[in-house]
Amino acid sequence: LRIVDNDGVDALTMRRLAGELGVNPMSIYHHLPGKAAVLSGLVEVVFSKIPAPAATAAPWQQQIKRAARVIRTGLVAHRNLAPLVVTDPGVVADAQITVAEPIYAALETVGVSPRSAVDAVNALVDFVRGSLIAEVAVPPEGFDVGPSLRERLRTLPPGTAPALARVLDALGADGMAYDFDAGFDACLDLLIAGIEAGLRSPAPSEERNRS
């Protein structure tokens, strides 16, 4: 995991790993079936290190935000592995249970219908997944970050994205750096507002299958 954190997933080589462990490269095969097992082991370690948020008496909105933030911080801590974690079929399946449970519990306290709860959890979990990918896709520290959104937009033929251009203009010069934490929170608030709206006007019950 240290190798991956420092030098990326590609740097994790059976020979390198063995060297770092001070053993013969082939010895690893007596404990694990292959490299895939090494990687999925790392993925599972990182995923399972995500702590379950302590149950509190806080309002359900805060419980949900807390659960989402815990996932996010747990995975950005190993940003080189994050794409694998978030993509791993086993993790995707387990996420429906482990990380979703606190959210289900919070929604239950306000009487969200089962179907709506599933939708809300999926929306939340998928958003967290997607925002994580976006976050780890940009080079480490805003440092050496490619041309900013504003500059890239300027190089395109004018009129390509007029609405975006107007938004950037309106935001003014203070909108130079993106704060992932604040953006993440704002999106969470939006999702939660959507759930609240569903509470006030119960969902139209269409025919749908779920598992």
Binding residues for DNA, rule: CB under 7 A, are 12-16, 23-27, 29-31, 34-36
Cα 83 from Cα 78, distance rounded (Å): 10
Q: Write out the binding residues for its own copies, residues 80-139 only, by CB under 8 A.
A: 83, 86-89, 92-93, 96-98, 100-101, 104-105, 107-108, 114-115, 117-120, 122-123, 125-134, 137-139
Shortest Å distance, C-beta 10 to DNA: 9
Contacts of 14 (CB under 8 A, 6+ apart): 25, 28, 35, 38
- CB < 8 Å & 24+ apart, contacts of 14-22: 14/38
* C-beta of 27 vs 109, nearer to DNA: 27
Using N-to-C axis directions, what is the helix angle for 60-76 and 101-108, rounded to 10°? 170
Binding partner of residue 194 among DNA, its own copies, none, CB cut-off 5 to 8 Å per kind = its own copies
Smallest distance from DNA to CB 36, Å:
6
Cα torsion 199, 130, 85, 50 to 10°: value is: -40
As a dihedral over the C-alpha atoms of residue 167, residue 170, residue 174, residue 180, rounded to 10 degrees, the angle is -30
161 binding its own copies? (CB under 8 A): yes
11 binds its own copies (CB under 8 A): no
Task: Tell me which of DNA, its own copies, none is bound by residue 123, counting a contact when its beta carbon lies within the kind-specific cut-off of 5 to 8 angstroms.
Answer: its own copies
